């Protein structure tokens, strides 16, 4: 349940950033694609549609995403995406075959770059 909520929240934050954050919007420029995050068995899956510098997320899997990141199970997916050093956690998961990437690996790197725009802003005093 935590992983499903995490994917929903990720979609919510990215959709909001695609409406309000010019830097995030510039990363979406020229991209028309669908990608998804899921478990190996696809019981937990969410896909993300990028079109016209906007991003929306929807529950479930699609047949032919530009790329898909699959985690061995929901608990592992949640732990990996919440890890302090996400890059190390992803690399270790890929090496151990607990994370599978299907599709264009260049787009996976692009997606990981998007996440830096989702961090909370520091409040100025």
Q: What is the pLDDT of residues 65-109, one digit of tens each?
A: 999 999 999 999 999 999 999 889 999 999 999 999 999 989 998
Structure-block tokens of residue 40: 């190996």
pTM score of the predicted model: 0.88
Residues 68, 85: Cα–Cα separation, whole Å:
21
Name the residue with tokens 């990608």. Answer: 35
Task: Quote the crossing angle between the two packed helices 105-114 and 86-95, to the nearest 10°.
Answer: 160
- The model's pLDDT over 31-58, given as tens digits with 9 standing for 90+, comes to 999 999 999 999 999 999 999 999 999 9
Residue 123 has pLDDT above 80, yes or no: no
Structure-block tokens of residue 18: 């695609």
Domain boundaries 2-118, corresponding CATH code: 3.30.1050.10
Model confidence at 124, pLDDT cuts 50, 70, 90, reads low
pLDDT of residue 75: 95
pLDDT of residue 122: 61
Closest Cα to residue 6, out of 34, 49, 37? 37
Helical H runs in the chain? 2-20, 22-28, 74-82, 86-95, 105-114
Residues in CB range of 14: below 8 A, 6 or more apart: 24, 48, 55, 57, 114, 118
Name the residue with tokens 């020229």. Answer: 30
Closest Cα to residue 44, out of 24, 66, 69, 26? 69
């Amino acid at each position: 349940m935590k992983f499903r909520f995490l994917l929903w929240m990720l979609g919510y934050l990215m959709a909001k950033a695609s409406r309000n954050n010019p830097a995030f919007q510039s990363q979406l420029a020229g991209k028309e694609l669908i990608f998804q995050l899921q478990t190996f068995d696809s019981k937990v899956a969410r896909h993300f549609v990028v079109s016209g510098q906007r991003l929306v997320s929807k529950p479930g899997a699609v047949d032919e995403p530009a790329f898909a990141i699959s985690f061995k199970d929901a608990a592992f997916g949640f732990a990996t995406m919440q890890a302090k050093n996400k890059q190390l956690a992803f690399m270790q998961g890929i090496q151990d075959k607990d994370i599978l990437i299907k599709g264009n690996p260049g787009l996976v790197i692009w997606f990981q770059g998007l996440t830096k725009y989702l961090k909370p802003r520091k409040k100025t005093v």
